[in-house]
Amino acid sequence: MTDGPGIPPPPPPPPPPEPPDESGTGGWQPTPEGPAWGPAQPMGSWGPPPAAPKPGVIPLRPLGIPELLDGAITAIRRYPKATIVPSFVVALGLGALDYLTALVSITMYRGVNDLDPTTASGSDIVGIVGPTLFVALVGGVVQLVATVLLTGVITAVMGQAVLGRDVTLADAWAIVRPRAWRLLGLGLLVVLIVIVGLFICLIPGIILAVFLSVSSAALVLERSTVGAAIGRSWRLISGAFWRTFGALILMVIIYAVINVAISIPFSIPEFVAPSVDSATLTVNETQFVINNAIATIGSVIVSTITLPFIAAVLSLIYIDRRMRTEGLDITLARQSQQP
């Protein structure tokens, strides 16, 4: 009896799937991989290279400056509840503080008009100007805190937006909340560094602002410390200073255009019926209250639009630099395929 052909051996089992990221960083930790250039074309193929995957608001490849801006706008439109809503709340609070400062300044104008320069002392001047300066200082601190935290929330949203994942405001805040104090410390430190640079000379301040522009994104997305985030931002921008500077300048121009286009209509009442006589510093208090209320509405609208736009652009600059230098696009493409 001869042996038949027999049963062929079973095929080898398929390779196990790549385990999901369990580092707690969402795949944002620095990676040693080089830039992703896509698969090589076969010999004799003259077709275009394969399109980069685009699971979210940007294609996962190095970005051009127009794509940075478009990605920021797309993210805001796609996730309005996680971007526009918190921006409106912050803008409304800051607008209320600005309006309160304006109302307190009425007292300052009254005191200046009643002041006798021949008998006024330093304490008299402090008593007149002090309340307005105090309210303005408190407003400045609140503005810094609110803006820094909002930037962190928008950054967290962008971290999910590039992967095409759903993200809510609660999800974004859950990412930012454990590192809120570090984020505030980083924001304060960066502001102080830039102010010192601007005080020494305008150019050093601008250079420092560019090199530190993505430090908040590094802290939020990489869960790093303040010092590590500053060093990370400096290294990522090194070698791409002028490109980053150009993107930031274009961002500022867009902000200025939006600001002017929206603010001018809300400033018309002050031009038509000025509330303060510049020669005598006499205040028409009723007109002052009305004009500042109208101007505050315009300020709230401007901030609601521009705050998330600026934060989103800075986040995408950070992501673009990592895709160019570390091949982050490969990691993100893998992350986008995981549930």
> Highest mean pLDDT: which of 71-75, 112-116, 132-136, 278-282?
71-75
Residue 23 pLDDT exceeds 80: no
Predicted confidence band of residue 196 (pLDDT cuts 50, 70, 90): very high
Task: Dig out the tokens for 11 from the structure.
Answer: 């095929």
**DSSP type of residue 57:** S
The residues with which 276 forms a beta bridge, in sequence order, are 283
Residue with tokens 């924001």: 187
- What pLDDT digit, counting tens, does each position of 146-177 carry? 999 999 999 999 999 999 999 999 999 999 99
Instruction: Return the pLDDT at 7.
Output: 45
Predicted confidence band of residue 47 (pLDDT cuts 50, 70, 90): low
Predicted confidence band of residue 110 (pLDDT cuts 50, 70, 90): confident
- What pLDDT digit, counting tens, does each position of 122-134 carry? 676 777 778 888 8
Determine the residue type at 191: V
Instruction: Return the pLDDT at 262.
Output: 95
Check: CB of residue 72 under 8 Å from CB of residue 309: yes
Predicted confidence band of residue 107 (pLDDT cuts 50, 70, 90): confident
Q: Name the residue with higher pLDDT: 277 or 145.
A: 145
Report the predicted TM-score, pTM, of the whole model to 2 decimal places.
0.82
Residue 120 pLDDT exceeds 90: no
Instruction: Return the pLDDT at 27.
Output: 59
Predicted confidence band of residue 33 (pLDDT cuts 50, 70, 90): very low
DSSP SS3 for 283: strand
DSSP SS3 for 270: helix
